[in-house]
Structure 1
Amino acid sequence: MTQVVRRLTKYTNDVLVILKNKHHATNSDIAQVLRDTYSDVSDTTVHRVTQRLHGDGLIGLAPPTKRGCLRYDACVDPHDHFLCDNCDNLRDIIIAEEVKKQIACEMDDCYFDGPLVIMGMCKKCQKRRK
């Protein structure tokens, strides 16, 4: 994807910083942090900023939340994710090419070209359950 360079506003700069710190965030997550500095920032403004940043190739899309909310990703390079079924936490992971080939073999050599999402339970949730 080609990155388009536009003038960055105070909101776009802050959204990029928030996403860099959080790695993955919804518009609601971003708005909550932005309101610490800009108490009157609207949800619509946050939505427009994230849509433009995504369209310009400066942020990526991550797997959605359990509720189906868009979740943005600070990393625009293709990569895989681990998603906790319990707390909905999302982490970047690297799945080795050999493992991807083995998965393809198990699926009668189906071809997949996108990122994989592995679901399970994170360590924090495992500890809480004990």
Structure 2
Amino acid sequence: MRAKNRTLIRGVLVAAALLGFAGATPALAEGSWTSHISNWGPGSESRRWADGDRDDAVTSVTFKGCNTDTNEFKNADLELYKDVFGPDKTYGYRLNRCDTSTWGDQSSGDYYFTLEGVRGGGKLWVDTVTTRY
């Protein structure tokens, strides 16, 4: 009887330790989405996403596989906005050279980015766009 109790107690302690360890692992980014861009000109808007600000993840947009209508892509000017009552709040421009643009950890709300300009052509195509928040 005593051996059974020790085995049971040992099992409970091991399970508690494992649950404690699992709870101590670092949190991942709250959310992300992946898409592509076809035939975008200045003023084009991305899809919108809701950031609940449940973590410390920065908001970032990554472009892979960039091209323009003239096949001379140099960079794209992106601007992050928060959808608010009245004029949407801007978080500034970032120059994207077919890489990652970041805007820091944002407060909760609905966000989107726009293409403000493209150098090396008039229209933009991007094979993979990944937004993390």
Give the TM-score normalised by the residue count of structure 2.
Answer: 0.22
Give the TM-score normalised by the residue count of structure 1.
Answer: 0.23
Say which structure, 1 or 2, has more relative contact order (CA 8 Å, 6+ apart): 2
